[in-house]
Amino acid sequence: MLKAALLSLLAFLGLVRGFDLASLPAPAGAQAGGGVAERQALHALASDVSKGGVTITDERLFTVNKAVPWVAIAKRIDNLARQRGAISVALPGADPGKKLAQAWRARDGRGVLVAMVPSPTGGTVGYFAVTFTQR
């Protein structure tokens, strides 16, 4: 609680810049990693929804079981991003409910894009540190 309050204060003062991808918690019950095909699918999804508007600078991949819904993952990152002074970004290729991806942008043009490729057993989630190419 204290850490969240401190991050909010630092973001408000403009002292927190961008995202430290390693500080974002993994989805509940997730295992680190993902296969090559899932990684490629997540990169393709990120490219599709951003329409070339972001450059991926880092990534973390997780596998989740079907008990972890996309909305819970996105909401958790949304809360953390807002605490850090970032705002939700409308992605030009977004199709809510069909393309599971959402992005947040900090004042310095950096941010995070979170995407999920579902599977019958759950899915693979990607946290991508991004730089927005358009101001």
Q: Write out pLDDT tens, residues 68-96.
A: 999 999 999 999 999 988 999 999 998 88
Predicted local confidence at residue 12, as pLDDT: 44
pLDDT digits (tens, 9 = 90+) for 35-54: 999 999 999 999 999 998 99
Q: How far is CA 15 from CA 8, 12, 106, 108, in A?
A: 10, 8, 11, 11
Q: How far is CA 14 from CA 34, 68, 129, in A?
A: 35, 33, 19
**C-alpha span between 94 and 96 (Å, rounded):** 6
pLDDT digits (tens, 9 = 90+) for 93-111: 988 889 999 999 998 899 9
Predicted local confidence at residue 22, as pLDDT: 82
Predicted local confidence at residue 2, as pLDDT: 52
**C-alpha span between 64 and 59 (Å, rounded):** 16
**C-alpha span between 71 and 121 (Å, rounded):** 17
